[in-house]
Copies of this chain bind each other. A is one copy, B any other.
Amino acid sequence: MAKILDGKKIRGKVLEELKPDIEKINEMLAPSKLCLAIVMVGDNSESAIFVKNKKQTGEKINIKVDVHHFSEDITADELVKKVSGLGGDNEVHGIIIQLPLPEHIEEQSILDTVPLEKDVDVLGSAASGKFYVNDKDFPIIPSTLAGIIRLLDEYEITDFKGQNLVVVGQGKLVGKPAAAYFNRKDDKDATVINPCSHTEDKKLYKRARFIISGAGAPGIIRGDMVRNGVVVVDAGTKTDPETGKIQGDVDFESVEPKASYITPVPGGVGPMTVAMIFYNLVQLEKQRLQLK
């Protein structure tokens, strides 16, 4: 029987802790206030849910969340102009590009348009550089990864050194940053293993004490693949087109009995990511205002 890593509960704690800083920032910014801009293109229903979550959460903690919703047929050039406009807008302190973008738009070029000091998701090339070279002066790390680390921390799961940690997925939101981060010698120093759908050696999963999954492939991690006592963090989010429910990468029913700790989906990494977006926004603005 695994303990549940309760992302909803910890989200509440993180947001509560942010309130004094937000109050101080809002006083300094008055009559305006701390503002996150979310750029959304097209009518992806999954994105719409995430954006709504972010907006509601922000408003609860006295942060303005402006959603800039553009139609599917916006050109890349137009979108760059819009994002540049937000980048130069003094009333906007953080910018999120809600992914995915429509196929005709190259994502990275849009992400690169977000200025470093407003890149709360750490997805632009400049902020990514700071993250991958481990620049201590840059105060934030990618929000989903930050959420995973904070969640594990809260349950005192901190000893990764020399332990096998499987990262599933090769994307920019979870797989790539998690693999790099957990392997850092001066930090977690885990033995990171990065299998994917083509991996021939399926036994690698069974060697893992920790599994962090962000593949977006529902149910690929099954109970028969993992060892007893494994800690499982599921950052996969794929909406079932029939039921509309969000599904993780982990087959909870078969994995949970073998795990020592496990995140539910929903209610695990998702809420943590939302909390850490606002955490990141606050840190960037504190740095800009030179608050301690």
Contact = CB atoms under 8 A, between A and B. Distances in A.
Interface stretch (A5-13, A181-189, A230-238, A258-266): A181-189
Copies of chain A in the complex = 2
A266 B128 CA distance: 34
Interface stretch (A28-36, A194-202, A241-249, A272-280): A194-202
B189 A198 contact: yes
Contacts of A204: 164, 191, 193, 207
A24 interface: no
Interface in A166-195: 170, 172, 175-176, 179-180, 183-185, 189, 191-195
A108, A112, A132, A133 interface centre (most CB from chain B within 10 Å):
A133
A145 interface: no
A189 B194 CA distance: 10
B194 A162 contact: no
Contacts of A134: 108
Contact of A132 (B132, B164, B183): B132
Interface string A93-127: 00000000000000010011000000000011111
Interface string A186-230: 000101111110111100100100000000000000000000000
Interface residues of A, number: 41
B196 A193 contact: no
A184 B189 CA distance: 21
Given A129-B129, A132-B129, A196 B201 contact: no
A176 B175 CA distance: 14
B129 A162 contact: no
Contacts of A192: 179, 192-194
A130 interface: yes
Q: Which 8 A-B pairs have the closest CB atoms?
A: A129-B129, A162-B198, A125-B129, A170-B185, A191-B199, A132-B132, A128-B129, A192-B194
Interface of A: 108, 111-112, 123-130, 132-135, 161-164, 170, 172, 175-176, 179-180, 183-185, 189, 191-196, 198-201, 204, 207
30 contacts: A112-B133, A124-B129, A125-B130, A126-B129, A128-B133, A129-B129, A133-B172, A161-B198, A162-B200, A170-B183, A170-B185, A170-B189, A175-B183, A176-B183, A179-B180, A180-B180, A183-B194, A185-B196, A189-B196, A191-B193, A191-B194, A191-B195, A191-B196, A191-B198, A191-B199, A191-B201, A193-B193, A193-B194, A194-B194, A204-B207
